């Protein structure tokens, strides 16, 4: 099965480029492939820094809703793939730079929130439409990027914020024109790759250790609410409405 990304390693910098048209929305199997590749890069001595970017209209639209609409039991495999991917980034020995453009949704938020550095193109927007898709998750990673009240605004409304606002709030290191996205990410990666791999690994472990709470445990807790959400008829209605491009009709009972 063809993987939904391209991979190159040069001068100590690995570039994992998502390439699954039209919107880089990944199936349960593809999320597992992404997680395995990122974990393998962490164990690859030829790699000192990881860049994650994307081809196409946007960085990542998250999970393949059509797959889940056809078989909602796959939510368990999707949850595992998401968890493993975000953990592989956050706890990787190598620094991970995420270079985003266009839409950054759902799992794209998890990837960005797990990363060490975010570079955004001027066209980038960040959103968590989970509620509108009948799911939960991503709040822990979003809260690693934005203040608590901004997270709740984004989560409850599903509305996006742009790259300029993300920069103002400190989530994004730089906002650049689209054509400069990868060159700037490479510039930062090259500066890190020149340093002692052991010192950088220790620095990342130390910085992760002093974070507020355990990101993986927080996300695991959220995933329990995703499974609870999937037991509600409103969850199935949300997915079906999205796939069929119609307005959702929810029951009045909670």
Q: Is residue 251 in a domain?
A: no
Residue 42 in this model has a pLDDT that exceeds 90: yes
Are 127 and 215 within one domain? no
Query: 85 lies in a domain?
Result: yes
Residue 252 lies in a domain: no
- 254: in domain: no
Say if residue 163 is in the same domain as residue 235.
no
First-to-final CA distance of the chain: 42
Mean pLDDT score of the chain, rounded to an integer?
A: 92
Structure tokens at 165: 């606002």
Contacts of residue 230, defined as CB under 8 A and 6 or more positions apart, other chains included, come to 72, 75, 134, 135, 236
- Classify strands 125-127 and 103-105 as parallel, antiparallel or unpaired: parallel
Domain tally, the chain = 2
- What residues make up the domain containing 82? 5-194
pTM of the model: 0.90
The confidence score (pLDDT) of residue 198 equals: 96
Q: What digits encode the pLDDT tens for the residues 117-144?
A: 999 999 999 999 888 777 777 899 999 9
Do 188 and 209 reside in the same domain of the chain? no
Same-domain pairing of 126 and 229:
no
**Site of tokens 């927007």:** 125
Q: Are residues 226 and 117 in the same domain?
A: no
Write down the pLDDT at residue 252: 59
pLDDT of 170: 97
Is 116 in the same domain as 137?
Answer: yes
Q: Is there a single domain that holds both residue 10 and residue 88?
A: yes
Note whether residue 209 is domain-resident. Answer: yes
Half-sphere exposure of 50 (CA within 13 A, CB side): 30
* pLDDT digits 0-9 by tens, 154-164: 999 999 999 99
pLDDT value at position 134?
A: 72
Higher-confidence residue of 124 and 249: namely 124
**Same domain flag for 71 and 122:** yes
Q: Look at residue 165 and tell me if it is in a domain.
A: yes
Domain presence at residue 187: yes
Domain holding 72: CATH number? 3.90.226.10
Burial of 148 (0-12, 13-18, 19+ CB in 10 A): exposed
């Amino acid at each position: 099965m063809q993987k939904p990304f391209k991979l190159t390693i040069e001068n100590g910098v690995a570039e994992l480029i998502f390439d699954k048209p039209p919107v880089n929305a990944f199936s349960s199997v593809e999320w597992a492939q992404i997680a395995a590749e990122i974990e393998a890069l962490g164990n690859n001595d030829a790699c000192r820094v990881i860049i994650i970017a994307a081809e196409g209209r946007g960085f990542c639209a998250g999970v393949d809703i059509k797959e889940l609409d056809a078989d909602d039991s796959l939510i368990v495999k999707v949850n595992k793939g998401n968890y493993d991917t975000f953990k592989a980034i956050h706890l990787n020995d190598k620094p991970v730079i995420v270079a985003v453009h266009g839409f950054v949704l759902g799992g794209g938020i998890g990837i960005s929130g797990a990363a060490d550095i975010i570079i955004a193109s001027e066209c980038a927007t960040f959103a968590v439409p989970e509620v509108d898709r009948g799911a939960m998750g991503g709040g822990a990673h979003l809260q690693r990027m934005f203040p608590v009240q901004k997270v709740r605004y984004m989560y409850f409304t599903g509305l996006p914020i742009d790259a300029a606002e993300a920069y103002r709030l400190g989530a994004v290191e730089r906002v650049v024109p689209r054509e400069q996205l990868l060159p700037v990410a490479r510039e930062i990666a090259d500066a890190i790759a020149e340093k002692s791999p052991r010192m950088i690994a220790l620095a990342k472990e130390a910085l992760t250790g002093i974070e507020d709470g355990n990101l993986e445990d927080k996300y695991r807790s959220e995933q329990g609410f995703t499974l609870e959400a999937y037991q509600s008829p409103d969850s199935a209605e949300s997915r079906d409405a999205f796939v069929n491009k119609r307005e959702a009709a929810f029951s009045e009972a909670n």
